[in-house]
Chains A and B, each alone.
Chain A
Amino acid sequence: MKVLKALGIVLVLMALAYVGVMLPGGRTLFGVVFPYLALAIFIIFFIAKVVGWAKSPVPFRIPTTSGQANSLPWIKQNKLDCPSTTAGVIGRMVLEIFAFRSLFKNTRAEIHEGPKLAYGSSKFLWLFGIMFHYSFLLIVLRHLRLFTDPIPAFVHALEFGDGFLQVGAPTLYITDLVFIGALTFLFLRRLVLPAIRYISLPADYFPLFLILGIGITGVLMRYFVRVDVVSIKMLTHGLATFQPVISENVSGLFFVHLFLVASLLAYFPFSKLMHLGGVFLSPTRNLANNSRMVRHINPWNDPSIKPHSYASYEDEFREFMVDAGLPVDKELPPAPAEEVAPAEGGASAESE
């Protein structure tokens, strides 16, 4: 149901663009207004979200230590997984952001008869996650050719590397294959594994379908459906230079592709996709584990919260403490006179 809801929304978006451009003014709306609007929403709300996070302080230093800490000089510290310096933290973050290190460590636990637990390495999520993210990045960078003139050298280099296999005409990009493949895997994983399906929300399927839609329309345009690349480049280059021109030769399929991209941009800051920004700010990863060595400040620390004082502790237990021979700060008050010489005391002394 959740899957269908998400798929339905993406299909509606696609239909909206396909039909919309046929209406009067539709081409300007979908070719110029929506892309600009989406980009503005993306930039403004992305920044707002990051600023919103940054506004909340990090009151305590709470890194997850994933290895031996810096302690005695002869004990080998795990400087990457339990960094005690800024350099170590940078190393940890770089590996986290560029190599998905935590995910790389992923294990699988299984319960067998007994009960007996077995653990195994599980790198599929890491592998397909990293394939998806890197191919997405390369594809976005390749698209710079549509927005720049002259095209930067690195974009040419990317295209050359990407088309390295030289299969077919136009040359097959490896990233296109990897991108669609990895996305499909990630989607099927959500659908097939019962536990993952159980935790998934429409908000997990929706971006998958949205990005898959972008990928499929892109692949269609490049390999299967003839589109007028010159007109498209005129439009995209015009958008980049704020002088948009829409030729009648730009096909409806392109507008569908563009509208899905715009939807993704506008949806981004309000969704889980913000993990792109959040990964940099996670206090369990981006802090050095040196909390006993260096003082950390909590801006809202309340100095009026004091421990139950020793004085009141002693007041409550002084008698017992004196009896037990424990040192006290304040001696017991002298006992009242009538208790010093009790009548029975004298009597018992007499009887002896």
Chain B
Amino acid sequence: MTGAVPKKDWMDTPAVFKPGNYCYPGKESMAAYHGKNLPGKFGPARVWDVESDDWKLVDNWQQILLEGMKERLEKFRSFKIFMDCCVRCGACADKCHFFLGTGDPKNMPVLRAELLRSVYRNDFTTAGKILGSLAGGREMTFEVLKEWFMYFYQCTECRRCSVFCPYGIDTAEITMMGRELLHLVGVNTNWILEPAANSNRTGNHLGLQPHTFKENAEFLLDDIEEVTGIRLNSLTFNRKGAEILFVIPSADVFADPGIFTFMGYLLLFDHIGLDYTISTYSSEGGNFGLFTNNELMKKLNGKMYAEAKRLGVKWILGGECGHMWRVIHQYMDTMNGPADFLEVPKSPITGTVFENAASTKMVHISEFTADLIKHDKLKLDKSRNDHRIVTFHDSCNPARAMGLLDEPRYILENVCNNFHDMPENTIREQTFCCGSGTGLNTGEIMDLRMRAGLPRANAVKYVEEKYGVNMLACVCAIDRATLLALMQYWNPNVEVCGVSELVGNALIMDGEKERDSGLRFEPLAANEGETDV
């Protein structure tokens, strides 16, 4: 794992697929579904086996890839520049969690990019056309395709390498191009295609139909009632005329521990009397299209504005989700704007106008909550989180694609008494990925995920040993799902939560009973042996 460098040149080291080191290919029906919606973008639908040497590719697959590459070089300056400018200085090499965790040199961002760059040089540059391998070029062969599949699905597009690159070469962009190309010839993974298909049809990646989604969410009202003694009645679905549409990562109504984050949202909104609604049609913020191609990303993202328009809301509030926010922040306005039917977001409670969201009209829940706390609009009892010694995981996308760093920390400092940051090389813009973003959150590669998550887990271990940290807070649903497994493996004493769960725990609700447990029915610190105080 410590990365003994192979003796053979990397171009002569083939990718070998074994059970556990690759994601399962997309089901035929899923590939067909996307192919019908976006003709030409998803290659032929078929049953194929990654470990086989026959991927049932179409005869002219090389030509499709090279033409696809040419098209993308013309459409993306980033792609062109990043193909030409790398000097292989190696500053990015030890920045990647996949490299640190697996020791596989092809997980160094520079080599991951070279997998694509070598083909680019061979077919699109003068030097490569004349000098071939001497200029670092190589032909697009099946062996190269296998490498692409292996290593573009061992990158979570977290952009940590990009922070250190002297030219800002962003491996996330290269991986995105690589994956777009792979999809053109039908080389895909099911854990991306199926959630994306679900999001398109049912509104959320889990495939929850509207009634199930509503029932799931309302079920959590019972839990809230049990913990707080009050029945919230502000939760509505698909309600026309609400002031604000709230878009969540759908895992927050379904999976532990996301559901506790969802309970936190609901308590907060009820506490301030927010006029909001949740849509079952646009019930997913997480965008699995981002992991395939631009077209599908745009298609899935389009729902939020379409629904905001149909419901006639003033603006949109977004929950704690990583890729959802990358797409909202960097792509949404460009792809699906202008949102001129919405108003510039203004907090109905504090009157704060969110100038930074003047065009997209979408505000992050952490920005919204931090503003409420700053204006002293929340009644909080920090001590209710005293049983939590909290550290914060900067989720990659909010950190490195938005710059959302201080808002969650401000909230945490105001809702709990014990907050400790991890070491500086592992937080803020230098944060380490959970190891399973971009559709890699799947059981068949668990070993790989635990390795890729090692840098994150190790930094948590450091604060666990130093401060007794037992709660890892984050602002991303994929994090909540994947960090849970990561902690269970590396640091079993540490639990995972969303920031809003701790907010919900600390909120003093009107008419509530004396709380003796947190949102997950865990006893509060004050009640452990001190019940008579």
- Interface segment, one of B423-431, B473-481, B513-521: B423-431
Closest-CB distance, B333 to chain A (whole angstroms): 5
Known: A195-B90, A305-B302. A81 touches B429 (CB 8 A): yes
* A residues 290-308 touching B (CB-CB < 8 Å): 290-298, 300-302, 305-308
Shortest distance in angstroms between B91's beta carbon and chain A's nearest beta carbon? 5
Most buried by A among B162, B295, B428: B162
* CB-defined contacts of B105 to chain A, threshold 8 Å: 195, 198-199
A69 interface residue (CB < 8 Å to B): yes
Looking at the assembled complex, report how far the CB atom of B236 sits from the nearest CB atom of chain A, in whole angstroms: 9
Which B residues between 71 and 109 are near A, CB-CB below 8 angstroms?
73-82, 84-91, 93-95, 100, 105, 108
List residues of A (30-80) whose CB comes within 8 Å of B's CBs: 49, 52-62, 64-72, 74-76, 78
Complex contacts, B359 vs chain A, CB 8 Å: 292-295
In the complex, the chain A residue whose C-beta lies closest to that of B399 is A65
Q: A60-B330, A292-B333, A324-B211 are in contact. Are A202 and B136 (CB under 8 A)?
A: yes
Cβ A72 vs Cβ B367 within 8 A: yes
Task: Tell me how far the C-beta of B228 lies from the nearest C-beta in chain A, rounded to whole angstroms.
Answer: 24
A283 within 8 A of B: yes
Q: How far is the CA of A291 from the CA of B367 in the complex (A)?
A: 16
Q: Is the CB of B77 within 8 A of A57?
A: yes
Instruction: Decide yes or no: A62 and B78 within 8 Å by CB, A81-B429, A195-B108, A270-B127 being known contacts.
Output: yes
Measured CB to CB, the nearest residue on chain A to B94 is: A109
Q: How far is the CA of A344 from the CA of B316 in the complex (A)?
A: 50
Smallest Cβ-Cβ distance to A298: which chain B residue: B334
Min CB distance, B229 to chain A, in Å? Answer: 25
A200 adjacent to B77 (CB under 8 Å):
no
Mark contacts of A275-319 with chain B using CB atoms, 8 A cut-off: 1 yes-contact digit, 0 otherwise: 100110111110001111111111011100111111001101100
| Cross-interface CB contact of A324 among B95, B210, B454, cutoff 8 Å | B210
Q: Min CB distance, B146 to chain A, in Å?
A: 20
Q: Which of B1, B6, B300, B400 contacts A115 (CB 8 A)?
A: B1
Asked whether A143 is an interface residue with its Cβ less than 8 Å from the other chain, the reply is: no
Pair B75/A57 contact, Cβ less than 8 Å: yes
Whether A292 and B5, one on each chain, are in contact in the complex, defined by CB atoms closer than 8 angstroms, is: no
If A69-B404, A71-B407, A111-B100 touch, whether A292 touches B163 (CB-CB below 8 Å) is: no
Are the C-beta atoms of B214 and A326 separated by less than 8 Å? yes
| Residue interface mask B162-187, A partner, CB < 8 A = 1 | 11111111100100000000000000
Indicate if B20 sits at the interface (CB-CB under 8 A): no
Do residues B334 and A204 form an inter-chain contact, with CB atoms below 8 A? no
Query: In residues 194-218 of chain B, which contact A (Cβ within 8 Å)?
Result: 200-203, 209-211, 214-215
Distance in angstroms between the alpha carbons of A278 and B85 in the assembled complex: 6
Are B78 and A284 within 8 A (Cβ)?
yes
Q: How far is the CB of B434 from chain A (nearest CB, A)?
A: 15
Tell me the bound Cα distance from A169 to B133 in angstroms.
Answer: 46
Contact A65 B401 (CB under 8 A): yes
In the complex the two chains form, is A300's CB within 8 Å of B75's CB?
yes
Our pick among A72, A203, A326 for the contact of B352 (Cβ within 8 Å) is: A72
Q: Which of the residues A119, A199, A297, A316 comes within 8 Å of B108, measured between beta carbons?
A: A199
| Distance, CA A201 to CA B10, complexed state (A) | 11
Asked if B429 and A198 sit within 8 Å, CB to CB, the answer is no
Docked pose: A293 CA to B329 CA in angstroms: 9
**Is A82 part of the binding interface, using a Cβ–Cβ cutoff of 8 Å?**
yes
Question: Cα distance A54–B114 when bound, in Å?
Answer: 23
* Contact in complex: A295, B337 (CB < 8 Å): yes
Evaluate contact between A56 and B239: CB separation under 8 angstroms.
no
A224 close to B (CB within 8 Å) = no
Residues A59 and B76 in contact, CB atoms below 8 Å apart: yes
Chain B interface helix/strand/loop/mixed: helix
> Is B371 interfacial (CB 8 A cutoff)?
yes
| Measured CA separation A340–B300 after assembly (Å) | 40
Q: Please determine whether A283 and B81 come into contact, CB atoms closer than 8 angstroms.
A: yes
* A72, A292, A308, A323 — most chain B CB neighbours (10 Å): A292
Q: A residues within 8 A CB of B310?
A: 310, 329
* A281, B100: Cβ atoms closer than 8 Å: no
Is A347 an interface residue when CB atoms closer than 8 A count as contact? Answer: no
In angstroms, how far is the closest chain B Cβ from the Cβ of A9? Answer: 9
B162-A284 in contact (CB<8A): yes
Contacts A274-B84, A282-B85, A285-B168 given; indicate if A306 touches B302 (C-beta within 8 A): yes
A150 interface contact, C-beta 8 A: no
In the assembled complex, A102 has its CB within 8 A of some CB on chain B: yes
CA distance A204 to B87 in the complex (A): 7
Cβ of A330 within 8 Å of any chain B Cβ, yes or no, is: no
**Is the CB–CB distance between B299 and A307 below 8 Å?**
yes
For residue A70, which residue of chain B has the nearest CB? B356
A176 within 8 A of B: no
Contacts known (A56-B75, A108-B94, A292-B328); A64 close to B100, Cβ less than 8 A = no
B166 touches A307 (CB 8 A): no
* Distance between Cα atoms of A306 and B237 in the complex (Å): 23
A96 contacts B166, C-beta separation under 8 Å: yes
Chain B residues near A305 (CB-CB < 8 A):
38, 295, 298-299, 302
Q: Which residues of B contact A5 (CB under 8 A)?
A: 134
Inter-chain contacts of A323 with B (CB < 8 A)? 211
Report yes or no: B281 in contact with A310, Cβ–Cβ below 8 A.
Answer: yes
Contacts of A294 in B (CB 8 A): 358-359
A117 x B454 contact (CB < 8 A): yes
Q: Please tell me if the beta carbons of A64 and B334 are within 8 angstroms of each other in the complex.
A: no
Residues of A within 8 A of B166 (CB): 96, 100, 102-103, 129, 275, 279
B455 sits at the interface (CB 8 A): yes
Residue in B closest to A54 when the chains form the complex, CB atoms: B77
- Is A106's beta carbon under 8 Å from chain B? yes
The answer to whether the Cβ of B314 comes within 8 Å of any Cβ in the partner chain is no
Contact B89 A129 (CB under 8 A): yes
On chain A, the residues within 8 Å of B302 by CB distance are 305-307
Judging by beta carbons under 8 Å apart, are B170 and A64 in contact?
yes
Q: Is A321's beta carbon under 8 Å from chain B?
A: yes
The answer to the question of B507 belonging to the interface, with a C-beta cut-off of 8 Å to chain A, is no
Q: Is the CB of A272 within 8 A of B88?
A: yes
Q: Is A194 an interface residue (CB 8 A)?
A: yes
Known A-B contacts A295-B333, A298-B334; A116 and B78 likewise in contact (beta carbons under 8 Å): no
Expressed in whole angstroms, the minimum distance between the Cβ of B218 and any Cβ of chain A is: 9
Q: Is B348 an interface residue (CB 8 A)?
A: no
The reply to whether the CB of A131 lies closer than 8 angstroms to some CB of chain B is: no
A65-B399, A195-B3 are known contacts; what are 18 more A-B pairs with Cβ within 8 Å?
A57-B75, A65-B403, A108-B94, A109-B95, A116-B458, A117-B455, A119-B426, A195-B5, A282-B82, A284-B169, A289-B402, A293-B359, A305-B298, A310-B310, A313-B203, A320-B211, A324-B211, A326-B238
- A selection of 18 A-B contacts at a CB cut-off of 8 Å is A58-B78, A65-B402, A78-B403, A103-B89, A106-B164, A107-B95, A195-B94, A198-B6, A202-B134, A275-B87, A282-B81, A284-B173, A292-B359, A302-B295, A308-B37, A310-B281, A324-B214, A329-B310
| CB-based closest 6 A-B pairs | A69-B403, A307-B302, A278-B85, A324-B211, A65-B403, A284-B168
